[in-house]
Amino acid sequence: MSRMKVLSVPNSITFIRIVIIPVFVTALVYNRVDYALFLFIVASISDMFDGLLARMTSQQTRLGAFLDPLADKFLLMTSFILFSVYGWIPVWMTITVISRDLIVTLGWLLLYLLYDITKVEPSLTGKAAIATQLVLIAYTLFSRTFRGFRPPEVWMLIIVTLLTMISGLQYIYRGLRQAGEK
């Protein structure tokens, strides 16, 4: 891979998002939820632009394809863990989100090791689960920053959790089907 491809604008945006994560954590640890909200918004917007820009400019790379979802997972997992520690969301929800990600990641690793399957296409349900998780995190940060927002309602937590579980089951099914075809 050429040096220019690694240093492409989309990959640089992804690197910046990765660097934002420890700053985001620091803001939360020091109870600067307003800063954390700003950083989360910047990270979320950059997530939309790096992939779009990579596709529009034909600058998609294997490094970007690896780092982009990794950055998303780190931001999501870190948020859910800290939000549970602070009591902003229930621990069971964090366990569900992290378990789903671990199961999907381990499933992909097994498919790769056993059957040399390197690509797992994201599902619509998986994308919806991630989107609702991101919205829940943003809403939680808004509710902690601005008085007009109430903490997340139980129905919000249930929708996010159900989508997360359904997408996890769907990935397990798809992985088993792919393994069966090999």
- pLDDT average, residue stretch 31-58: 92
Tell me, what's the pLDDT at 166? 97
- pLDDT average, residue stretch 29-46: 96
Verdict on whether the full-model pTM lies above 0.85: yes
pLDDT above 50 (res 101): yes
pLDDT above 80 (res 16): yes
Report yes or no: 79 and 160 within 8 Å, Cβ to Cβ. Answer: no
- pLDDT average, residue stretch 136-162: 95
Tell me, what's the pLDDT at 5? 61
Tell me, what's the pLDDT at 182? 77
Q: What mean pLDDT value characterizes the chain?
A: 91
Tell me, what's the pLDDT at 1? 47
pLDDT above 90 (res 116): no
Give the pLDDT band (50/70/90) at residue 148: confident
Report yes or no: 6 and 64 within 8 Å, Cβ to Cβ. Answer: no
Tell me, what's the pLDDT at 58? 85
- pLDDT average, residue stretch 112-136: 89
User: Which has the closest alpha carbon to 23: 11, 41, 5, 35?
Assistant: 35
Give the pLDDT band (50/70/90) at residue 15: very high
User: H helices then E strands: how many in the chain?
Assistant: 7, 0
- Neighbouring C-beta atoms of residue 21, cutoff 10 Å: 18
Give the pLDDT band (50/70/90) at residue 67: confident
pLDDT above 90 (res 147): no
Report yes or no: 99 and 129 within 8 Å, Cβ to Cβ. Answer: no
Domain map (residue ranges) of the chain: 1-86, 89-182
